[in-house]
Amino acid sequence: MSEPRIAVIGNPGKWSTEVLADALEQRTGFRLVADLSHTALDLSCGKLWFDGHNLCELDGIIVRKVGTDYSPVSIERLEMLRVAEQAGVRVFSPATQLIRLLDRLACTVTLHNHQIPMPPTLVTESIDTAIAQIQQWGSAVLKPLFSTKARGMQILHADQGNKVLETELVRYKTRHPLLYLQQRIDLQGADMGLVFIQGVYQGAYARIAGKKSWNTTIHSGGRYAPCEPDAATLDIAQRAQAAFGLDYATVDVALSDTGPVVFEVSALGGFKGAHTGSGIDLAARLADYALAELRH
């Protein structure tokens, strides 16, 4: 019996994409990294083409990235993978599950409906309502519905005054009509990523903020470090990822004054944090998991 042919959907040349493709090639002899922005879906014959390959003829597809930035078009790219699924290709994680995660609000509502603790959150189109909430909280983080690595996020403080807040919110609404605000909490300079494969906990890593940054992302000068989440944190992360039915998930958790809170669940997080922070080879583990599923 021939080995399964599994493609990696990702960003060619990027570390997490390439190490997963390497791991699959070592195990199967087949290697294909496909960029969804360069695919063509021909619905007249039910074929999804990338560089001469019909992705609907593969055994499996592992989705790592759907572009360099998240935007509404990312959802449309994932919709095309549903045609491959219909043709019998096993997609890790399923496209419909991934779509629920790309939009920050969809992710937040799912977490809320599963009683997962999060920072206090307000979503509104009303600038007056947003200002009143910022005044009550003292400070807030304004977040785009589509973003990665804290790009586009903005801190707003009550002591800036209502006039300044109104100006900032009006400017923000020209790019993001729906205002998504979370109360700013004291991260104490760090948060954690807890990693799961098919709901099984794989390990965790910490992100330590840079000296001049309010957030912990590597993009803003943060660094990775090892960590050992306590039982309460692990339980919350386990419940958070279970709400989405993912093959691979990273749960971003911070420790607040009231206990652990979840910022988001991601199925497209990179492998470098776990590798650098805690020495976990997620590419090998995910490749082994996908092959076991296809051989089952």
Tell me if 130 sits within 8 A of 124, measured CB to CB: yes
Query: Binning pLDDT at 50, 70 and 90, where does residue 260 land?
Result: very high
Alpha carbons within 13 A on the beta-carbon side of 260? 23
Predicted confidence at residue 72, as pLDDT, reads 85
Query: What pLDDT score was predicted for residue 290?
Result: 98
pLDDT value of position 106: 94
pLDDT interval class at 54 (50, 70, 90): very high
Q: What is the average pLDDT score of the chain?
A: 93
The pLDDT of residue 248 is 97
Mean pLDDT of 219-246: 91
pLDDT at 216 over 70: no
Q: What percent of the chain has pLDDT over 90?
A: 80
Task: Give the phi and the psi of residue 63 in degrees, each rounded to 5.
Answer: -90, 120
Q: What is the pLDDT of residue 221?
A: 66
Q: Please, what are the domains in the chain?
A: 6-92 (3.40.50.20), 103-117+187-285 (3.30.470.20), 121-183 (3.30.1490.20)
- CA end-to-end span of the chain, whole Å? 13
pTM: 0.92
Q: Which of 24-28, 66-70, 147-151 is most confident?
A: 24-28
- Whether 183 has a pLDDT exceeding 90, the answer reads yes
